[in-house]
Amino acid sequence: MTGPRGRLAGKVAVVTGGASGIGAGTVRAFHAEGASVVVADLQVAAGEALAAELGERVVFRRTDVTDEASVSAAVDAAVESFGRLDVMFNNAGIIGAVGPIDRTRTEDADLTIAVNLRGVLLGMKHAARVMKPQGSGVIISTSSPAGVMGGVGAHVYSAVKAGIIGLSHSVAAELRTFGVRANVVIPGAVVSQMTADLVAGDASDLAGAEAALDRSRYMGRPLQPADVAAGVVYLASDEAAFVTGIVLPIDAGMTGAGGPSPMADEKYADQAGRREAGRRVGRTSPEEE
């Protein structure tokens, strides 16, 4: 009997926040590519349902990423269930504290930091304690466009998502000497429960989220969890063996090419050449080419 095939065949992963959204999409993609996966999440019903759906090579562990013992137990579950740990995807997160900076509640900010940044640090810590002696592994963490540009996210959320990038760069520099890579993904606005809550007022209204995102899409359709998962699979695979310390935007150019291009306007479609001091020089229409 042969084992599973795929780009991640034989690898073992832990996915925090793995019961829904980007996390669930990545669990499915990892499993399809041959990996064994621990779904680590607070959402027990959703996590157990996903594990039951995928069956062999997937287990669920209730995990609170703000609690070190809980994160440690998720990592231990991977080793106990499947014998090793090759990929740690620190994906769990919340929007957290919202509102003007002068009205931000400290207790809300503290929880946001605990989930979104401390949780990532704990994931890195406990993944590293397995991966360093093993001499191999990949740590991938989810940031956000809000971590690299202003005005697209709540204040504390923006701060912690920027912190994930700085933390990952630092950890990548340390762990590469042990054969362990650390990278970051920046998903754009993705059709998920979190987005549905924000744009449709109902976390279960994925159709409403998709309709809202369709109106503001950068490309031909809204971003789906599977699109983000494809990038995470690449970073987790041996194809990215020399890729560490990077930030991979999966956002249709939101962070790198956010503004509309005037060259996409129809009025420029039949023009080519150049302008100098207010004058057109060279070819200006297809007929002249």
Max Cα separation, the chain? 73
* 204: nearest Cα among 192, 186, 218, 220: 192
Count of CB atoms within 10 A of residue 9's CB?
13
Catalytic residue among 157, 218, 234, 268: 157
Catalytic residue check, 157: yes
Instruction: Return the HEC string of the chain.
Output: CCCCCCCCCCCEEEEECCCCHHHHHHHHHHHHCCCEEEEEECCHHHHHHHHHHHCCCEEEEECCCCCHHHHHHHHHHHHHHHCCCCEEEECCCCCCCCCCHHHCCHHHHHHHHHHHHHHHHHHHHHHHHHHHHHCCEEEEEECCHHHCCCCCCCHHHHHHHHHHHHHHHHHHHHHHHHCEEEEEEEECCECCHHHHHHHCCCCCCHHHHHHHHHHCCCCCCCECHHHHHHHHHHHHCHHHCCCCCCEEEECCCCCCCCCCCHHHCHHHCCCCCEEECCEEECCCCHHHC
From CA 211, how far away is CA 127, in angstroms rounded? 38
Active site residues: 157
